[in-house]
Chains A and B, each alone.
Chain A
Amino acid sequence: MNDPAANPAGADRRPREGAAAVEFEALADDAWLLRLGERIDDALNARVHALAARVRAPAPPWLRDLVPAYASLAVFFDPAQTDAATVRDWLLQRCGDSDDIAAAGATRVVEIPVAYGGEFGPDLDEAASQLGLTAAQLVERHSGGDYRVAMIGFAPGFPYLSGLDPALALPRLASPRTQVAAGSVAIGGAQTGIYPRPGPGGWRLLGRTPLRLFDARREAPSLLQPGDRVRLRAIGADEFHALSDPARATPA
């Protein structure tokens, strides 16, 4: 129902430049969608995460879930404890004058080792030649980026990373692969992301991380949290295997 390939980099639906108001929409009987804008934009996304932090601290007892996305935030509540109108009023207060929603303060920085090229990144050479770069230059520019987890979705633990050098944008494959290895680091359009599980996918595969992005049985199931900053570190095959989780056992 939802492939990263179906999430195109967005065009503005309406001119909302500088618009401060947060739009409310009933996403479900038990959820409000707060829309701060309709673009993929780091400043907008930072405001989404700041608003999420404000709703979460301290979390009201009726709060069931928060979904920070690129430019919107879903707030799920327990209808047995409250009602939609009460939640809306409470959220309006939290939004206040949305110009006050400053970027979140301290964010985590997570380093992710990535083995580029070869068996780890079957599209690296082709992608580099399309971009007019050598493979080494593409690795240097991709791993040198300053990324942020704009949102997590599509699958448990799948991070949509913003901050890709616009010169590295690549179209998706005309026909998605039926099998992408877990940990694959990929470019799709103007975004970069990491596949947590083996499965089909249409993004260009540049490399792979030995880290496990999502494990439901881990105390922190997701390696990354929405809003985290991410640094990629290029590693060789030896380090990849040394860092691989022996318990990983990913059935293809």
Chain B
Amino acid sequence: MTAALTGEEWIEVIAPGALSCVQDLGRAGWRHLGVGQGGALDPRCARLANALVGNPAEAAVLELTLHGPTLRLRAPTRLALLGAPCELRFDGHPLPAARPLELPAGTVSIGGMRAGVRAWLAVAGGFAVDPVLGSSATDLRGSFGGLHGRALRAGDRLPLGPVRPPRRVDAPRVPGWWIDPDAGLDPHAPIRYVATAAPALAAAAQRFGDSGWRVDPASNRQGLRLGGEALDTPAAAGAGVSEPVAPGTIQLPADGQPIVLLADAQTVGGYPRLGRIIAADLPRLAQARPNAKLYFRACDEDEAREARRRMDADTARLRWAIADRLAGR
């Protein structure tokens, strides 16, 4: 990366979309002070979008929710959009997602998500916001990190990291290849969880997987609220001392409607825990639409571990394949 630009380039936000915020792979090392992990709800997509534009995996990306933003590029830019299918236009012309796009100065607009809820936009050089507590992730509840600790607004300037001077780009360059991180996965397979070992909660944990759940529209990055036939909370488990929780933790409040904690999970919680969604299936919850029906299936630690190993291996393989393509091999 010699002859780097000074990093004084930026992208202007014309329209912010429904909820667009800067995210990376999250923060570590601050949970003891009540600061959660945060970061992209699907870290695979953040990593792979970065790979498509030649960034390191931990570079900051934009996480888009339900409806994407309109952005003005002031200079030629390489970008990539990955995640839920949605309309992507450059100066009004439709362009495909899931591949590196080289664009001249102009306007990029990203529309509504057609299936799923979230997508990730990476730009060569990354979004150069100041890291807070070691990460560029926006902590929306704590109002720090990302761009001014909040979601994007019209008129914002998104600073870009230094990149090699781009080639001359007079018109969009669109490669003929793309990636699909979900290839081979069954989108209808139940989402897997490991049930808690607490005997008092065994019956509720079993029933969690026996019935279907509806995604409550009040869900957000902190938690996915589920609605359905209420689970019984055993009295013995109702008055627990607050214990640590994590992304994936399934909480059972007194109303019997479970909450699955996502990336913005708080660090401790007082509700009984039914168990946890396995890491390999959490990215699917990032795409759960309001009112969608979800099904869950209990699995054991071996299956959880094997699924994670496979997910990490698939992601690594895709990153190698992308690097080869970008190097022209």
CB <8 Å contact, B31 and A65: yes
Chain B positions within 8 Å of A27 at CB level: 244-246, 249, 276
Indicate if A135 sits at the interface (CB-CB under 8 A).
no
Query: Contact flags (1/0) for B24-65 with A, using CB distance below 8 Å?
Result: 000011111111010000000000000000000000000000
- Beta-carbon contact of A216 and B132 below 8 Å: yes
Q: Give residues of chain B (229-263) contacting chain A, Cβ–Cβ below 8 Å.
A: 236-237, 239-249, 251, 253, 259, 261
Asked whether, in the complex, the Cβ of B236 is within 8 Å of the Cβ of A13, the reply is yes
How many chain B residues have a CB neighbour from A under 8 Å? 56
- Return A73 CB to nearest CB of chain B, in Å: 8
Chain B residue, CB-CB nearest to A3: B270
Residue of A nearest to B242 (CB): A7
Cα(A8)–Cα(B237), bound, Å: 12
Nearest to A152 among chain B residues (CB) is B34
**Which of B68-76, B301-309, B321-329 is found at the contact surface with chain A?**
B301-309
Inter-chain CA distance A25–B270, complex, in Å, is 16
Interface locus among B1-9, B15-23, B96-104, B138-146: B138-146
Closest to A45 in B: B241
Least CB distance, B260 to chain A, in whole angstroms: 10
In the complex, which residue of chain B has the Cβ closest to the Cβ of A251? B143
Residue from the list A13, A35, A216 in contact with B200, Cβ < 8 A? A13
Q: Does A153 contact B (CB under 8 A)?
A: yes
A72 adjacent to B239 (CB under 8 Å) = no
Known contacts A26-B194, A221-B133: A76-B28 contact under CB 8 Å: yes
Q: Chain A nearest CB: distance from B312 CB in Å? A: 8
B33 interface neighbour in A38, A83, A214, Cβ under 8 Å: A214
Q: Which residue of B lies closest to A41 (CB)?
A: B241
Measured CB to CB, the nearest residue on chain B to A223 is B33
Chain B minimum-CB-distance residue to A83: B305
Contacts of A67 in B (CB 8 A): 31-32, 244, 267-268
- Shortest C-beta distance, A3 to chain B (Å), equals 9
What is the size, in residues, of chain A's interface with B at 8 Å between Cβ atoms? 56
Residues of A within 8 A of B194 (CB): 26
The contact of B270 among A8, A31, A214, A226, by CB within 8 Å, is A8
Residue contact B244 to A70, C-beta cutoff 8 Å: no
* A27-B276, A31-B246 known; A74+B31 contact, CB < 8 A: yes
Question: Once bound together, how far apart are the Cα atoms of A157 and B36, in whole Å?
Answer: 11
| A187 interface residue (CB < 8 Å to B) | no
**In the complex the two chains form, is B31's CB within 8 Å of A76's CB?**
yes
Indicate if the CB atoms of A26 and B276 lie closer than 8 Å.
yes
Closest to B237 in A: A13
Are A30 and B196 touching (Cβ within 8 A)? no
Known: A1-B222, A84-B305, A216-B133. A8 touches B239 (CB 8 A): yes
Give the distance to chain B from A62, nearest Cβ to Cβ, in Å. Answer: 11
Contact B31 A28 (CB under 8 A): no
Pick from B142, B241, B248, B259: contact of A70, CB below 8 A.
Answer: B241
> Which residues on B sit within 8 Å (CB–CB) of A69?
241-244, 268
The answer to whether B189 has its CB under 8 Å from any CB of chain A is no
Quick check: A154 and B133 within 8 Å, CB to CB? no
Shortest beta-carbon distance from B12 to chain A in Å = 25
- Residue numbers in B under 8 Å from A40 (CB-CB): 241
Question: For chain B residues 71-87, which have a beta carbon within 8 Å of chain A?
Answer: none
Q: Is B269's beta carbon under 8 Å from chain A?
A: yes
- 7 residue pairs, one from A and one from B, having the closest CB atoms: A74-B244, A10-B241, A153-B268, A7-B270, A216-B144, A65-B31, A28-B246
Q: List 29 A-B pairs, Cβ < 8 Å.
A: A1-B222, A1-B223, A1-B259, A1-B266, A1-B269, A8-B270, A10-B239, A11-B239, A27-B245, A27-B246, A28-B246, A29-B248, A29-B278, A33-B244, A40-B241, A65-B29, A74-B31, A74-B243, A153-B266, A153-B268, A154-B34, A154-B266, A156-B35, A156-B139, A156-B142, A216-B132, A221-B30, A222-B33, A222-B34
> A-side interface residues toward B, CB under 8 Å?
1-2, 6-11, 13, 25-31, 33, 35, 38-40, 52, 64-74, 76, 78-80, 83-84, 151-158, 160, 197, 214, 216-217, 221-222, 225-226
